[in-house]
Amino acid sequence: MVIVNEDGEILRANSETQRLFGYAPGELVGRQVETLIPARYRGAHDAHRRGFSRAPRVRPMGAGLELRGLGKDGGEFPVEISLSPLQTPGGIVALAAIRDATERKSFEDALKRINVGLELANLSKDRFLAGMSHELRTPLTAILGFTGTLLMGLPGPLTEEQKGQLQRVHERGEHLLSLIEKLLDVTQLESENVEFEIEPIDARSLLEEVASGLRPLAEEKQLGLEVALPEAEATVTSDRRSLSQILINLTGNAIKFTEQGEVRIEFDQQRENGSAVTRFNIVDTGVGIKPEDREKLFAAFEQADTSATRRHEGTGLGLYISQRLASLIGGTISCESEYGKGSSFALELRE
C-alpha cells in the first residue's frame, strides 16, 4: 500500500511495499512515486497521475495495459495496481494497492505456450488424417473397381467359391472406404471448412430417399423400417445434404444396433412461439443404451461397447459427425433410451 499526494510524493509506504521493491523502512517516504516505475513509462505516468487528481475515483490503474514495477536493484516485474481516493486533513490523496503479478503472468504464459502446442498438435493431426485418408481412398477405390469387374464376370467365369471370396473382399473394401469417408468428414467439420446451401426441402421426398437407401440393410436383418410421412405438404428450410447425412447416420445406427423388431422414422412439424419447429425421431427396438454410457454418445471415436467381444464394428464417428453437422445448421440432437428396450434419437430444427 502506497499513499501519494497530488504532486506525486510518497507520503506512506507499508512494509510489504518496501519488501516488494527492495527498500529499507522509511526510505521511500518523500520520494516521487515515479521512482517505482521504469524510466520509459514515467512521462506518461505523470499525465495519468494528474488526471486522477482532477477526477479521483476507485479504479484499476492502466486497465488493459501491461504494468511494470521497478525495484531498487533495477529489476523489473509485472504488477497490478488499484487506485482509491483518500480524504485527509490536507486534501484528497491517492491510495495505491500494488500486487506482484509475477506468478499470475507466469501461469498465463505457460497456458499460452500449452495452447499454442495443442493448436499445432491438433492442426498436425487434422493434416495427417486428411492426407492419409486421401492417400488410402485412391488405391482402395481401384481395388473395389477391380473386384466389382471380376464379380460381374467380365474377365471370365468364376466358381461359386471364388465369387464368395471376392464378395467378402468387396464388402470389406466398401466398409474401409466408408470409414475413410468419415475421417475426411471429421477433418472437414473440425476445420469448419463446410459450405451450406440453405433452401426449402420437401420433407416427404427427403424421408423417402433416406428410407429407400437404408431399406436393404433393414431387410437383410429381417427388420421392419417404417416411415411416418407427413399427410400434408411439409417443407423444411435447411441444407439438404447435411440433413440427409444426419438422418442416414441416425437411422443406420438404429438398424445396426437392432436385432429384432423395427426401426421407425417419425416426422413432426408445428409452430412454437412464432417459430417453425421440425422434429425427426428415429425410434428403434434395439439394445438400448446404459445410463453410464450416455455421456460419451456424441464423442469422436467413442462407442458404448468398447469390449473386445463387441458385436458391432465402427469408428464411433457417426453420432459425432451428426451432432457437429446439426449444430452447424442450427439444430440439436437428443437421445432417450431404456437399456434392453430400445432408443429414440430426435433431431430438432427451429426456423
Q: CATH number of the domain that 344 lies in?
A: 3.30.565.10
In this structure, the answer to whether residues 91 and 46 fall within a common structural domain is: yes
Q: Which of 12-21, 301-310, 332-341 has the lowest mean pLDDT?
A: 301-310
Question: Average pLDDT, stretch 209-230?
Answer: 89
Backbone angles phi, psi at 82, to 5 degrees: -115, 135
Question: Average pLDDT, stretch 146-164?
Answer: 85
65's grid cell:
495495459
In this structure, the answer to whether residues 217 and 302 fall within a common structural domain is: yes
Q: What is the pLDDT of residue 309?
A: 38
272's grid cell:
412454437
Domain closes at, from 100, 125, 141: 100
In this structure, the answer to whether residues 290 and 210 fall within a common structural domain is: yes
pLDDT band at 231 (very low <50, low <70, confident <90, very high): confident
**CA 286 – CA 254 distance, rounded (Å):** 7
Closest CA to 185 of 239, 242, 136, 121: 242
In this structure, the answer to whether residues 222 and 119 fall within a common structural domain is: no
Beta bridge partners of 255: none
Mean per-residue pLDDT over the chain, rounded: 82
Q: pLDDT tens across 9-39, in order?
A: 899 899 999 999 999 998 999 998 888 989 8
> Does the structure show a pLDDT above 50 at 310?
no
> Does the structure show a pLDDT above 90 at 230?
no
**CA 268 – CA 257 distance, rounded (Å):** 24
In this structure, the answer to whether residues 322 and 220 fall within a common structural domain is: yes
Question: Average pLDDT, stretch 270-290?
Answer: 88
Q: Which of 66-70, 100-104, 134-138, 322-326 has the lowest mean pLDDT?
A: 134-138
Q: Which residue has the higher pLDDT, 297 or 8?
A: 8
Q: What is the pLDDT of residue 307?
A: 42
DSSP string, 46-109: HHHHHHHHHS---EETTTTS-EEEE-TTS-EEEEEEEEEEEEETTEEEEEEEEEE-HHHHHHHH
Q: What is the pLDDT of residue 207?
A: 92
pLDDT band at 282 (very low <50, low <70, confident <90, very high): very high
In this structure, the answer to whether residues 159 and 202 fall within a common structural domain is: no
Q: Which of 242-256, 293-307, 331-345 has the lowest mean pLDDT?
A: 293-307
In this structure, the answer to whether residues 121 and 259 fall within a common structural domain is: no
> Does the structure show a pLDDT above 50 at 214?
yes
Q: pLDDT tens across 103-151, in order?
A: 888 888 888 888 887 777 666 666 666 666 667 777 778 888 888 888 8
Q: Is the CB of residue 155 less than 8 Å from the CB of residue 146?
A: no
In this structure, the answer to whether residues 226 and 311 fall within a common structural domain is: yes
CB-based contacts of 62, cutoff 8 Å, min separation 6: 48, 81
The full length of the chain comes to 351
Domain closes at, from 41, 71, 100: 100
Beta bridge partners of 303: none
SS3 238: strand
Other CB atoms within 10 A of residue 108 CB: 12
The whole domain housing 157 covers 105-190
Domain closes at, from 69, 100, 131: 100
**CA 143 – CA 277 distance, rounded (Å):** 45
In this structure, the answer to whether residues 75 and 170 fall within a common structural domain is: no
In this structure, the answer to whether residues 276 and 157 fall within a common structural domain is: no
In this structure, the answer to whether residues 117 and 92 fall within a common structural domain is: no
> Does the structure show a pLDDT above 90 at 280?
yes
pTM value is 0.51
Other CB atoms within 10 A of residue 208 CB: 13
For position 55, which CATH number holds? 3.30.450.20
Q: Which residue has the higher pLDDT, 290 or 188?
A: 290
**Of all residues in the chain, what percent carry a pLDDT higher than 70?**
84
For position 118, which CATH number holds? 1.10.287.130
Q: What is the pLDDT of residue 306?
A: 42
What is the DSSP pairing of strand 2-4 with strand 91-100?
antiparallel
In this structure, the answer to whether residues 311 and 338 fall within a common structural domain is: yes
Q: What is the pLDDT of residue 123?
A: 67
Number of domain units in the chain: 3
